[in-house]
Chain A
Amino acid sequence: MSFDLNLGLGMSNLGGGEDNNYDVVIIGGGPAGASAAIYTARADLRTLVIDKGLTAGALGITGKISNYPGVPGPVTGAELVEIMRAQAESFGAKFLTDKVVGVDIHGERKMVMAGTGAFYTKVIMLATGSMGRTSVVKGEEEFLGRGVSYCATCDGAFFRNQTVAVIGNNDEALEEALFLTKFADKIHLIVPTPELKAREALAAEATTHPKIAVQLGTRLKEIMGNGQVAGVRVHPRGGSEETLPVTGAFVYLQGGKPITDYLMEQLETQPNGCLVVDHEMQTTVPGVFAIGDLLCTHIKQAVIAAADGVIAAVAADKYIHGRKAVQTDWK
């Protein structure tokens, strides 16, 4: 039994140092978040964008775009996002690849807790998109904490020398599967789509790893067990169902629901779960804005998300400087 003492990690988690203080922290680096960052950074606001990865969102996994104004294309979604991020970085915005696990939105000094540490900020922009899951599979809730997990880095050590399943097709699923190779003997990577939707290098590493068995085009039907996960029932496209004996099921599936879990119900929502925002994209908590596909009323197009980001960025500048009216840069 051993694990890294990891004190360095713990320390960075404290935050509060000069490097962890920002004017604006944007959660999500898609078109909404990156566009907001272009405007806030250009307005000399110290800006941090925290994003799970280039292919974590809807645009990042879009194959071909030819209708984004000013960019004739065709370009891939990931390329378009990269252009936006480079533009934001040119104005001084910082981008951090990380996952936000919680926020404290109250008060003037707000906090965003990510895997690598805490960040303090005057304004939080929520731009996490709508690729959250809409349903769970049979057995998933029953076996949560009894073999079902959403965090391999948290729980991997419980599965030493065992066989587990990782279900998903994105960067996160692959990174977690690779992390699990430190503990588990064998990992079944169940990919619901015919292809992986992840970075090429990461996909190559995962698919060639001797401990990882990849099953493309295979849907998870049920997590089974008796008090504890004992197997997953899967259905390969065009094939017949089979049950894989596993003791752990790490689920990283996506869907079409706004991602708000990290807010821990701190913000007012409509009965349908959608966040309430005003005409400047500000939520019911001052200094907290929501933009892009996260909003239910939103037309799911990159250019609309980008426009949301700009509206919020201008309003954030007004909020931070206590102005009554927006200042627009026409130069």
Chain B
Amino acid sequence: MSLLQEADRNHLINEFQALTEPVKLVMFTQEMECQYCRETRMISEEVAELSDKISVEVYDFVRDQEIAEHYNIDKIPAIAIVRGGQKPKDYGIRFYGIPSGYEFSSLIENIMMVSRGESGLSAETKAWVANLQEPVHLQVFVTPTCPYCPQAVIMAHQLAMESEFITADMVEAIEFPQLSNKYHVHGVPRTVINEDTHMEGAAPEPILLSKLQEAVA
């Protein structure tokens, strides 16, 4: 049984007409599929069916350990959204946990952004990010019922697209309770930057930028 409804499929087919560069969804599950691994795989496969610009590769987290390491995948279910085609590129955009509820729109927005090849960030943010010379890791904790969360997820992924030093994860907080405990997540969205710096809520771009500056200072 399909997860996407017919009307939604048709709507997405139409939206995906705007795709330019090919996009690849690299999905990690395992033989004994984890909670929501199956649904996450199905979402990836069904979305990829809707455009010839989108492809999907499904890997086993255990059997395909080398590939998981190549993409720095440390938990499942996971999706890496990368540019496909002749000039493939991994921007460091990751989804950990099922991109359902409001996060489905984050997934679609990210596919569109990677295909477009343009983050859409402000000139000021781009200028700062361009000078970044050290790794920055953003983890945006979300729940599927949080309407504010996609803003935080998409902005983190925009940053990842802008710099090879930045990686950004959506982390579904309920599926990864050990991470939620580790980072004291009791409300979402909560963005953890390089382990020690954190930000509550979906903040405007300049505020996230100042948090980034604080994190690397």
Are A158's CB and B4's CB within 8 A?
no
Whole-angstrom distance between the Cβ of B144 and the nearest chain A Cβ: 5
Q: Assuming A5-B98, A154-B149, is B104 touching A147 (CB within 8 A)?
A: no
Residue B119 CB within 8 A of the other chain: no
A151 within 8 A of B: yes
Q: How far apart sit A266 and B202, CA to CA, in the bound complex (Å)?
A: 14
Query: Which of B145, B149, B198 is A6 in contact with, Cβ under 8 Å?
Result: B145
Bound state CA distance, A264 and B148, in angstroms?
12
A-B CB contact pairs (8 Å), 13 listed:
A6-B100, A9-B102, A10-B100, A10-B102, A17-B11, A102-B148, A115-B147, A148-B187, A154-B148, A158-B180, A158-B186, A248-B186, A265-B206
A204-226 vs B, Cβ < 8 Å mask (1 yes, 0 no): 00000000000000000000000
Q: Give the residues in chain A near B148, CB-CB below 8 Å.
A: 101-102, 151, 154
| A11/B5 contact (C-beta < 8 A), A145-B186, A151-B148, A153-B145 known | yes
15 additional contacts (CB under 8 A) given A145-B198, A154-B147: A6-B101, A9-B101, A9-B102, A11-B4, A11-B8, A11-B11, A102-B202, A145-B187, A145-B190, A151-B146, A154-B149, A155-B143, A158-B187, A227-B184, A266-B204
150-169 of chain B: CB within 8 A of chain A: 150-151
How many residues does chain A have at the interface if contact means C-beta atoms less than 8 Å apart?
40
The tally of residues in B whose CB lies under 8 Å from a CB in A reads 45
A149/B187 in contact, CB under 8 A: yes
A159 closest partner in B (C-beta): B186
Contacts of A1 in B (CB 8 A): 35, 174
Is the CB of B103 closer than 8 A to any CB of chain A?
yes
Q: Which residue of A3, A14, A265 contacts B145 across the interface (Cβ within 8 Å)?
A: A3
Closest to A17 in B: B11
Does the CB pair A10–B206 fall under 8 Å? Answer: no
- Nearest neighbor of B203 in chain A, beta-carbon distance: A264
